[in-house]
Amino acid sequence: MRKYPDFPRDLPDPSEANPLAFAVASRDRETLAMVRRAIERNDVLLAFQPIMQTARPEHPAFYEGLIRVLDDAGRVIPSHDFIGAAETTELGRRLDCLALDMGLMSLAENPKLRLSVNMSARSIGWPEWTRILTRWLARDDTLGERLILEITEASAMTMPELVSVFMHEMHMKGICFAIDDFGAGYTSLRYLREFYFDILKISGQFISGIADNPDSQVLTKALLSIAGHFEMFTVAEGVETAEDAAWLARQGVDCMQGYYFGAPTLMPPWSVPEARQAGR
């Protein structure tokens, strides 16, 4: 009779086998549960950050609408704390729908506003996302002319052919596109040529401290050259100091975004009553 080796009767605890993976998975589960509860309570907001014209730094070219959720204690949680866990799930699609709905509502309420809203390529073709856009454009078809959809480089590369077709269809509605966080991923220049991006946003990882970083300077100049070749408007993300802003201005960056010009706020200028503005 064949003898089989003895196996331990008690399987190892997953947390003991790979404690880091277990901790990350537990954190992501808690994050997703927090986001789900926020959506169910309708505790989802947009914070607005200005993107400033380099030639006229006192005038925003447009604003970016950044999604926020309130946790169980009512604290405002920025997107970078939850979007990584949520993007590939159904919650990510629901967040994209809410961001689009709130963004278009803001555009409808303020005819002078131009706004960018983030979305994942995974939301392309999502029925509810499409219904929201169609409903708002049916009310006012000029809203599309003031809407910019931001797609991250990494997200676009998950399905480049689908993204290209989607962008062409949205351009027919007057909508512009920005490739967000450019340089942080691995975009094939072949696909960049086939995309229809109007705006290239250079990743803040190159911009922070660029005035004193020769490596970042070389890389950023290369990205600006790429944008110029493809006739894309450029935005430098993560600008935090006057020195960095001055260096970027000398290189011909069209616009800048970052805490040096303004932090994301839940109370943008157009939402503040004129009387309060006058009294500041």
Average pLDDT (38-52) is 97
Whether 163 shows a pLDDT value over 50: the answer reads yes
CB 115 within 8 A of CB 65: yes
Give the phi and the psi of residue 151 in degrees, each rounded to 5: -125, 130
Whole-angstrom distance, CA of residue 264 vs CA of residue 82: 17
The 10s digit of each residue's pLDDT in 9-35 is: 555 555 555 666 656 678 888 999 999
Instruction: Decide if 122 contacts 92 (C-beta within 8 A).
Output: yes
Q: Give just the sign of the alpha carbon dihedral 185, 191, 93, 268.
A: positive
Nearest to 201 by CA among 213, 184, 218: 184
* Cα 72 from Cα 126, distance rounded (Å): 28
Q: How far apart are CA 145 and CA 175, in angstroms?
A: 5
Do 153 and 182 contact (CB within 8 A), yes or no? yes
Query: Tokens for 273?
Result: 């009553």
DSSP structure class, residue 277: H
Q: Does residue 67 surpass a pLDDT of 90?
A: yes
Lowest average pLDDT, out of 40-49, 187-196, 241-250, goes to 187-196
Looking at the chain, the whole-number percentage of residues with pLDDT higher than 70 is 86
Determine the structural domain holding residue 79 and report its residue range: 14-278
Element (H, E) at 217: helix 214-229
Would residue 237 count as lying in a domain?
yes
Question: Which of 30-39, 43-52, 149-158, 195-204 is predicted least confidently?
Answer: 149-158
End-to-end Cα separation, the chain, in angstroms: 91
Q: Could you tell me if residue 76 is inside a domain?
A: yes
Q: Is the pLDDT of residue 1 over 80?
A: no
Query: What is the pLDDT confidence band of residue 155, given thresholds at 50, 70 and 90?
Result: confident
- Would residue 4 count as lying in a domain? no
What is the pTM (predicted TM-score) of this model? 0.88
Q: What is the pLDDT of residue 188?
A: 60
What is the CATH classification number for the domain harbouring 103?
3.20.20.450
Q: How many domains does the chain have?
A: 1
Helix (H) or strand (E) holding 179: strand 176-182
Looking at the domain assignment, is residue 165 inside a domain? yes
- The answer to whether position 3 is within a domain reads no
